[in-house]
Amino acid sequence: MQIASTAPLRDADDLSLSYTPGVARVCEAIADDPSVADDYTWVSNTVAVITDGSAVLGLGDIGPTASLPVMEGKAILFKQFGGVDAIPLALDVRDPDTFVDTVVRLAPSFGGINLEDIAAPRCFEIERALQARVDIPVFHDDQHGTAIVTLAALLNALALTGRAVEDTKVVISGAGAAGVAIARILQASGIRKLAVVDRGGVIHPGRAGLTPVKAEIAYETSEWGRTGQLSDALDGADVFIGVSGGTVGESAVERMADDAIIFALANPTPEVHPDIARRHARVVATGRSDYPNQINNVLAFPGLFRGALDVRASRVTEGMKVAAARALSELVGDALSESYVIPSPFDERVAPAVAGAVRAAARRDGVARR
């Protein structure tokens, strides 16, 4: 990574514009009207990629310093796929309130905040509290990026298998950041028969000892009325989405409905090995690049922030996320098949399509400022 100027600096005249006295005129303009900072500084095209290093990839809690390469990599993807400048920041803090206070103080330098690799349930609290205190988009990619791409692939898998969204029975294994976000975006898209499973079994209103977030999920997903363990929930289910990192035996997935859909997204080892999944499912997706149908967050976050920054959105709404997912799913078009339910990250149509859908949704949802 590097920082590069967009203006020439060849002589004394250039220097007088790029630094003193030229910058003073810009400072005075912003002091008179803070909104013009979006026009005269990097704010309108720059995102902070911020972590505490507590849940890095599959490596776990390795701390802020060791997490920095991932933040740098994320920043490169922002630029490569969305034309968005991003600055990696690793914060040496674990208290959620202190984390939020720190980011709030940094926020004037950025047009958006991408939270990354923060452990659950702290990530939920941080995202919610931070968005309440800043008027720029706050987006936890481990939650919502995964959810957007999962929904996009699922919409196409449902079309391929002839299922109606409202009748589809979905089981999510994992109630961490990704699992909770996937549950909520599926509900926002019309899924009603939904069960979320953790180590203790199906999360339902009658279960004791639930965290506040899991208690919300229990209430929100109570319509289907499933209880018991994962194998019980999978009995007759149409869709399995794994974001847990555990292992699901073949005896459990063979209980699913005909033409099942299995998204086993744990990396590097999927919850259900693709060879096993294909014996019992018509559509199989993983988080890996060496199998078809990779659920890769890079399909979502560059275009989403591109669109949000373009309209100077104050936040990312559920409507913007669903719009991004639908735009992704529509790119597959007539090429839809069991091995192609989601486009490639290198499809040049992806980021523009997502950005356009996000811009339109931000305006519909009343969070756009231009």
Other beta carbons within 10 angstroms of residue 222's beta carbon come to 15
Is 72 marked as binding a ligand?
no
Residue 285 shares a structural domain with residue 332: yes
Claim to verify: residue 112 and residue 238 sit in the same structural domain = no
Domain match, 253 and 294 both: yes
State whether 131 and 176 are in the same domain: no
With left for phi above 0 and alpha for psi between -120 and 50, is residue 100 left, alpha or beta? alpha
Domain co-membership, 115 together with 177? no
For the stretch 234-286, pLDDT in tens is 999 999 999 987 888 899 999 999 999 999 998 888 999 999 999 999 999 99
Which SS3 state, helix, strand or coil, does residue 292 take? coil
Q: What mean pLDDT is predicted for residues 214-236?
A: 92
Domain stop point among 78, 112, 136? 136
Q: Do the Cβ atoms of 164 and 140 come closer than 8 Å?
A: no
Same domain, residue pair 174 and 275: yes
Are 109 and 184 members of one domain? no
156 annotated to bind ligand: no
One domain, residues 105 and 215? no
Do 170 and 261 fall into the same domain? yes
The residue segments making up the domain with residue 98 are: 41-136
Residues annotated as part of the active site: 19, 74
CA–CA distance, 200 with 34 (Å, rounded to integer) = 51
Please report which confidence band the pLDDT of residue 6 belongs to, taking 50, 70 and 90 as the band edges. confident
- CATH of residue 247's domain is 3.40.50.720
Q: What percent of the chain has pLDDT above 70?
A: 100
| CA distance to 38, 151, 368, per residue, from 310 (Å) | 10, 24, 9
Same domain for 201 and 277? yes
Which residues are 170's β-sheet partners? 194, 239
Q: Is 116 annotated as a binding residue?
A: yes
Domain termination residue (choose one: 136, 164, 188): 136
Query: Mind listing the pLDDT tens digit for each residue in 145-163?
Result: 999 999 999 999 999 999 9
Please indicate, yes or no, whether residues 192 and 264 belong to a single structural domain of this protein: yes
User: Domain count of the chain?
Assistant: 2
Q: Are 144 and 131 in contact (CB under 8 A)?
A: no
Give me the amino acid identity at 189: S
Mean pLDDT of 53-77: 90
